[in-house]
Amino acid sequence: MADIEPSVMRHVIAALVTNEPGVLAQVAGMFAARGFNIDSLVVGRTENPELSRMTIVVHGDDRILEQIRKQLQRLVPVVKVVSYQDVAFVERDLMLVQVASSQGGSRNQTTSRRTEIIELVNLFRARVVDVSRDGLMIELSGTEEKIEAFIAMVEPYGVIELARTGVIAMPRGSGGGGGASAMQTRRRKPAAEKRKPNVDPKKLPPG
């Protein structure tokens, strides 16, 4: 009997890291050195000035996910690793895209194209943030699926330029943690403990 290949799934992982120089490069280098393919990696501040949150999106099976968890937990600046695999969560991606509203046709054709694009903008609950003679700049936030669907709809008009922030995520619910099984806080050796700020576990952000 042939071996059944493990299913490749999309995984969203959050890591709370200490605010110190070179952390992003260290995490990205860890992924690159071990051949992990990152779909998205976003880092930003939290309500705790000593911590930042990294949100990482990767594709792989459960074995790959477990490897990523272990590798992240070995990095000294990483305080906590959270997987949203079995947790209800909210995710958002932000995109700015410039769409061509003119292709050298008549003024009426340009007006018609612009009207059609604005109708799509309203349908997807996006908004126009800049208007030029030849194009519209549109801002849209939502899930990756929503953004990909919008891109597919405006591609026939001509995408001039596109930029995306990448995925950020947070677990649902006031408690936020998504259960103890979803969280893994790294147990540090004493030598490593001295190299990070003294963060009170009670002050860690949820998720």
CATH of the domain at 20: 3.30.70.260
Task: Decide if 4 is inside a domain.
Answer: no
Task: Decide if 3 is inside a domain.
Answer: no
Same domain, yes or no, for 180 and 130? no
Residue type, 119: E
Distance CA 56, CA 169 (A): 9
Does 184 have pLDDT greater than 60?
no
Same domain, yes or no, for 79 and 95? no
Does 189 have pLDDT greater than 70?
no
Q: How far is CA 62 from CA 67, 111, 138, 180, in A?
A: 9, 51, 37, 18
Same domain, yes or no, for 75 and 136? no
Does 192 have pLDDT greater than 60?
no
Task: Please tell me the least confidently modeled range out of 11-25, 39-53, 63-77, 99-113.
Answer: 99-113
Predicted pLDDT of residue 110: 76
Same domain, yes or no, for 62 and 118? no
Same domain, yes or no, for 108 and 162? yes
Distance CA 154, CA 114 (A): 11
Report whether 185 contacts 82 (CB < 8 A).
Answer: no
| Residue 97: CATH number of its domain | 3.30.70.1150
Same domain, yes or no, for 162 and 179? no
Same domain, yes or no, for 51 and 79? yes
Predicted pLDDT of residue 6: 56
Number of domains in the chain: 2
Predicted pLDDT of residue 66: 85
Task: Decide if 68 is inside a domain.
Answer: yes
Q: What is the mean pLDDT of residues 23-50?
A: 88
The band of 109, judged by pLDDT with boundaries at 50, 70 and 90, is: confident
Does 203 have pLDDT greater than 70?
no
Phi/psi zone of residue 104: left (φ > 0), alpha (ψ -120 to 50 degrees), beta?
left
Same domain, yes or no, for 45 and 29? yes
Reported pTM = 0.73
The band of 104, judged by pLDDT with boundaries at 50, 70 and 90, is: low
Q: What is the mean pLDDT of residues 133-161?
A: 96
Same domain, yes or no, for 83 and 177? yes
Task: Decide if 125 is inside a domain.
Answer: yes
Same domain, yes or no, for 60 and 120? no
Q: How far is CA 29 from CA 72, 166, 192, in A?
A: 11, 18, 19
Predicted pLDDT of residue 173: 82
Predicted pLDDT of residue 186: 40
Range of 104's domain? 91-167
Same domain, yes or no, for 79 and 50? yes
Same domain, yes or no, for 152 and 180? no
Count of CB atoms within 10 A of residue 93's CB? Answer: 22
Question: What confidence tens digit (pLDDT) does each residue in 40-78 have?
Answer: 999 999 999 999 999 999 888 888 788 888 888 888 889
Distance CA 207, CA 201 (A): 12
Task: Decide if 139 is inside a domain.
Answer: yes
Predicted pLDDT of residue 94: 97
